[in-house]
Amino acid sequence: MLWFLYNLLFPVVFVCMLPKFISRMLKRGGYGQHFEQRIGHFGHNTKAHLREHRRVWVHAVSVGEIYVALRFIKAYREHHPETFFALSTTTSTGHAIARRELDERDVLFYFPVDLPIIIRKVLRIVNPVRLVLVEGEFWPNLIRLADKAGIPISLINGRMSESSYKGYRKLRSLTADVLRRINPICVQGRVDAERLIGIGAPPDHVHIMGTVKFDVAERDPAGEVTARELLTNLRVDESTTILLGGSTWPGEEEALCSLYQSLRATHPDLFLVLVPRHVERADEVVQTLEQHNLSCARRSRPESCSPDSRPDVLFVDTTGELRNFYSVADIIFVGKSLNQHGGQNPIEPAMYGKAVVVGPNMENFTSVMDVFREGNGICQVASDAELRGAVEHLLAHPDERAGLGRRAGALVDANRGVMDRTVARLDGE
């Protein structure tokens, strides 16, 4: 009965949300490409590539999960060199990163709509030897039909936010039936384990591994050089103190611009770099800068990056370069944490040994924040006013700033190795 209701209601919900999806396609671009894969239609070349070998199917949603998936593929292949993979993703940004990074032996496609008729078709085409889900992708029909076909299903880097837990608890009969089919369920922390067990996961299926995202954090030396050269060309030398807002969301650029303006009176050499989470918000961010009378150089427009005069702000309106600019910053605010809920990944800036500041809303990184808090490797603020106070303090006390960064970097190094343990768990070790 539960499956009947799910399959009855899911198409209705999907149709209701279709305008939102279409709007996102138009704003972000890229969604229209290979859209037919979302309804189970694969081109001749993709089908032929898939038929060459049976594969491990890995599914991840967007950018953060894609990096976890790619790191998993690399680690699994080190243990099983003859393995081939099929990687599915949901967003165009995740697809673009995967297309750039994925090994040519493997196949990339967009995740199909979770309807039985479509999922059955895709399972026949992909014909996986194993299904690996990343973080929290509990698509009921995919899991049920894969299990029915005898395909082992695993979850890696699993997590569950409080809001998701509250929602799933109302559907415990369905979630319990779904989760019993996944083994092992590898989760980031104790709270994630408790929540998954609370919605029906068999306790003996659940294993606390730590977060794989510490393993995913990797440096890009060439990209770091490019970031430094760009700043040098803008007359921002290595003695300049750089405040960076990374993966910012609406309202956070406003807070940083106001903060920056107020601080320049006492710190005239301070320089601001803004890297919003979504590039399609570029015009909105530029408008915010103009309202604060701040000149900017745009990364996507070389003509605006003139060496003749130093701008007030570098606006990085490109995709995939954020970590490179983390490497040249001194104080880093990680977005989607001040005025939004969920948070963005603080591990990459910490990897560079930088002083990292986040807002109060880091629900998507509970286990990561536990590590940083316990090791005194992060500064968390509750409001715009506290953000201002924290940045002022870090500017005034460079030794404390350096110590915060050193502790952060040491914590990242100390918590690596989760991916190898996860692969061993999938192998039954």
pLDDT in the model for residue 388: 95
Output the six-digit token pair for 396.
């005034």
pLDDT in the model for residue 303: 72
What pTM was estimated for this model as a whole? 0.79
pLDDT in the model for residue 407: 98
pLDDT in the model for residue 291: 95
Query: CA 79 to CA 259: how far, in whole Å?
Result: 49
Nearest to 299 by CA among 316, 283, 312: 316
pLDDT in the model for residue 330: 98
Query: CA 287 to CA 293: how far, in whole Å?
Result: 10
Series of mean pLDDT values for 10-residue runs along the chain (429 residues): 62 60 58 72 90 96 90 96 95 88 94 91 96 91 96 96 88 91 95 95 96 91 95 92 97 97 93 94 94 93 72 92 96 95 94 97 91 97 96 97 98 96 91
Domains and CATH numbers, the chain: 18-217+417-426 (3.40.50.11720), 221-414 (3.40.50.2000)
pLDDT in the model for residue 174: 86
Residues in Cβ contact with 227 at an 8 Å cutoff, skipping those fewer than 6 apart: 321, 324, 325, 327, 328
pLDDT digits (tens, 9 = 90+) for 239-293: 999 999 999 999 999 999 999 999 998 999 999 999 999 888 999 999 999 999 9
Written as one string, the DSSP assignment of 203-253 is GGGEEE---THHHH----HHHHHHHHHHHHHTT--TTS-EEEEEEE-TTHH
pLDDT digits (tens, 9 = 90+) for 96-153: 889 999 999 999 999 998 889 999 999 999 999 999 999 988 899 999 999 999 999 9
